[in-house]
Amino acid sequence: MLSPSLQPWLDKYLAYLKYEKNLAVKSIDSYQRQLNSAFSDLQLDSWVSFNSQDVRQILNQGRKKGLNPRSLALRLSSIRGFCDFLIKENMLIQNPASSVSAPKQGKPLPKQLNVDEMHQLLDIGADDILAVRDKAMMELMYSCGLRLAELVSLNLKSLEDQNQLRVTGKGNKERLLPIGKIAKQAVSNWLKVRPEFAKPSEPALFLSKQKNRISSRQVAKRMKLWATTQNIEQSVNPHKLRHSFATHILESSSDLRGVQELLGHANLATTQVYTHLNFQHLASVYDNAHPRAKKLK
């Protein structure tokens, strides 16, 4: 239970979030729960004396209660926000929570479909025009490791004689990607029926039934539908196809730099998350290939 001398300022902060910051009711309730839990055992007469040691003690108590790093980071963030308010109200000179580091959170590994699951997902019978379009979209995304935004922004001119794809990625950077044989055939099949969806002079490669450029939401919805239709046990979304592409290429080639280029990552560190999925294989390649890693005979 928060000390009666401290409670009024917490109430003022919650009112500030509601009336001045216009936060949603659920967000305010979340802040209230976090702060009530954080300050429940706090022994202070005034917020003026609240310091970084108190913040660390709150986090330590949270650890003892079994809170995971993500929950502790959320609690610390809530405390920082409250302390910023106290500074604004001249109750504190500086934020005591700003010098406390959030607990390290393990970076989640990318989730992907295995090769068999990818074959199962993409083994679509072209029974109608939507199936032809959807197969072309998914084959192209998996073949080239496209981001969802890159897929929906493709134009007819993005195809370089159907053997290569010119993609504009983040930062307006272009990259030229090879198109696999199966994806090339799927796109070719789509181009034969695309005129049924296309308005005159329409530049978009993939279109909706309304004859407009297909939206990101529509792509995600269609992939979710096909995952159910093809009896894929795990959920499927556009980014999972990109993850699957990166993982499968890396497992086969061990070429991290090559995968970086194909994905359009500006920083190799972004690509390196995929190495965790096949680290032992990469370590073996490194040991056999690097001149300073080879054992002396």
- Residue 242 a catalytic site member: yes
Give me the catalytic one of 240, 242, 243, 248: 242
Give me the catalytic one of 56, 175, 239, 281: 239
Q: What are phi and psi of 272, to 5 degrees?
A: -65, -15
Q: CA nearest 122: which of 211, 241, 208?
A: 241
Element (H, E) at 164: strand 164-168
Give me the catalytic one of 21, 170, 217, 221: 170
Give me the catalytic one of 147, 184, 222, 243: 147
- Residue 243 a catalytic site member: no
- Residue 239 a catalytic site member: yes
- From CA 158, how far away is CA 144, in angstroms rounded? 13
Task: Please answer whether residues 239 and 148 qualify as being in contact, where contact means their C-beta atoms are separated by less than 8 angstroms.
Answer: yes
User: Which residues have C-beta within 8 Å of that of residue 242, sequence separation ≥ 6?
Assistant: 141, 145, 146, 147, 263
- Residue 170 a catalytic site member: yes
For 189-251, what is the HEC assignment? HHHHHHHHCCCCCCCECCECCCCCECCHHHHHHHHHHHHHHCCCCCCCCHHHHHHHHHHHHHH
176 forms beta bridges with: 166
Which amino acids are annotated catalytic? Answer: 147, 170, 239, 242, 265, 274
